[in-house]
Amino acid sequence: MNKQRYAVWTSMAVAVSLLLTGCQSLTGYKQIDKAENATAWAGQVIPIAGEVNIACAGTYHCEITQIDKTPVISTDTHKPVDLAMLVSMSNADGIPYAKLSKREQEQMQMDTIPLADNKSVKIVPLSASDMPGLINYYARVKPIKREVHINFYPENNVDYIERFALIDEFKESGTYLLRAYSRKSPQNNGSLLDAASPEPLCIDLLKDNLLQRRFCKLLNTENQGEFVETSMIRQGSTQKVAS
What are the φ/ψ torsions at residue 86 (nearest 5 degrees)?
A: -75, 130
pLDDT at 227 over 80: no
62: which DSSP letter? Answer: E
Mean pLDDT, residues 99-123: 79
pLDDT score of 55:
97
What's the CA dihedral at 59, 84, 110, 134 to 10 degrees? Answer: 30
Of 110-124, 132-146, 190-204, the one with minimum mean pLDDT is 190-204
Q: Give the pTM.
A: 0.71
pLDDT for 16: 28
Residue 59: CB partners within 8 Å, gap ≥ 6? 16, 26, 27, 28, 29, 152, 153, 154, 162, 180
| Cα dihedral 74→77→82→84 (10° resolution) | 130
Domain range list for the chain: 6-234
